[in-house]
Amino acid sequence: MHHYLIEPARGGSGGSDDHRNSNLIGNSKNTAETDAGHLNCTFVCCWWGEGCSERCPRVRFGNVHVANCLYDGEDYTYCIGYGVYSNIYVEKCAFLSEKAKENALKDYRSGKDFNIKVVDCLGVENKELSQGDRQQFVPTYYYNTFKAELVDNVVRKGRYGAGATLLIEL
């Protein structure tokens, strides 16, 4: 669960007065040799809420799966950013606020290869964008998702929603 509930500090991190970025996958366009093929991430039942402004997530050089995530804040510059050699599969997420709907995706690809597929989300249309000859990443591991209409309700619930909810039984 990502929230930034306090006022931003003057001269904050990154030299910005309001640096409320959440998740960056990949370093820079200069790290292709070290990053390519090594960055594989899954975000499930994440809640990027109030105060989050961008990078929910922002991807370069990675295969990223975003499933059943909630976007309901009012501060988004963008929600999901796709960059150079990104390969993103977004499914059954809920983009509820007007800012989330308006700024769901941002193109940072700089004319390079990329793939992004948005499937069965609430608040944004299905979409498939690509450039180059790499195949669209689609998760092949076993996982369960639920309908996007249920995301708001499920993700806000304590033990089974967003946040530190890992339960290990021995």
Region of poorest pLDDT, from 7-21, 42-56, 84-98, 115-129: 7-21
What pLDDT sits at residue 166? 52
Name the nearest CA neighbour of 126 among 90, 79, 78, 169. Answer: 90
- pLDDT tens by residue, 108-132: 866 678 899 999 999 999 999 988 8
Mean pLDDT of 34-44: 80
pLDDT of residue 27: 73
What is the separation of C-alpha 166 from the centre of its chain, rounded to a whole number of angstroms? 20
**Is residue 96 scored above 80 in pLDDT?**
yes
3-class secondary-structure state, position 101: helix
